[in-house]
């Protein structure tokens, strides 16, 4: 059902919830410089593998994807595309876009239980979109997710939360 102008989707004070679905650990090769101009630097970071682990999905990150990264005035705009293979053999395409920047005093460290999900002062968030025709994993293509990331030059860990 699509709400008309006179209807509201949720009542006053409604706040969407976030439910932990899985974590992806992506292994990275050294970045490749593509170019720069007009205050922007573009690089490509090859993805060489990794793992997927969580209550809703487990598997591996397949080698061969990558992250195109544009840096402007200390803000990185990320555009990653790679493949996951679930433990049941299904292949899942992920396009994961987001932003990274440091020195943001409004960003406290984020924790999920005892696990530190993100660092204080660092904004590193993603918004993934998944594609697959595997029946057991169609829920991925029908759900909105938010990713909280942390990482370095060799590995990035992203905890994905479904929005309810």
> What are 94-103's pLDDT values in tens digits?
999 999 888 7
Q: Please state whether 113 falls in left (phi above 0), alpha (psi between -120 and 50) or beta.
A: left
Q: Work out the widest C-alpha separation in the chain, in whole angstroms.
A: 53
Residue scoring higher pLDDT (150 or 134) = 134
Read off the pLDDT of each residue in 72-82 and give the average, rounded to a whole number: 93
Q: Concatenated DSSP letters for 57-97? A: --EEEPTT-EEEEEEETTEEEEEEEEEEEETTS-EEEEEEE
pLDDT at position 6 is: 45
CB 86 within 8 A of CB 137: yes
Is the domain spanning 24-163 CATH 3.40.47.10? The answer is: no
Tokens at residue 10, please? 């949720």
Give me the residue spans of the domains in the chain.
Answer: 24-163
Asked if the model's pLDDT at residue 63 lies above 70, the reply is yes
């Amino acid at each position: 059902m699509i709400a008309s102008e006179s209807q509201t989707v949720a009542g006053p004070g409604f706040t969407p919830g976030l439910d932990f679905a899985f974590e992806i650990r992506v292994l990275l090769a050294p970045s490749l410089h593509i170019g720069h101009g007009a205050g922007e630097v573009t690089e490509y970071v090859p993805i060489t593998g990794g793992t997927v682990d969580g209550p809703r999905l487990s598997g591996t990150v397949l080698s061969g994807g990558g992250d195109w990264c544009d840096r402007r005035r200390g803000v990185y705009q990320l555009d990653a595309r790679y493949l996951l293979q679930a433990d049941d053999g299904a292949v899942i395409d992920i396009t994961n876009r987001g932003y990274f920047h440091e020195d943001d005093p409004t960003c406290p460290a984020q924790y999920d239980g005892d696990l530190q999900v993100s660092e204080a002062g660092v904004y590193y968030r993603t918004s993934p979109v998944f594609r697959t025709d595997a029946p057991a994993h169609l829920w991925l293509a029908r759900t909105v997710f938010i990713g909280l990331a942390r990482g370095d030059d060799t590995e990035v860990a992203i905890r994905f939360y479904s929005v309810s």
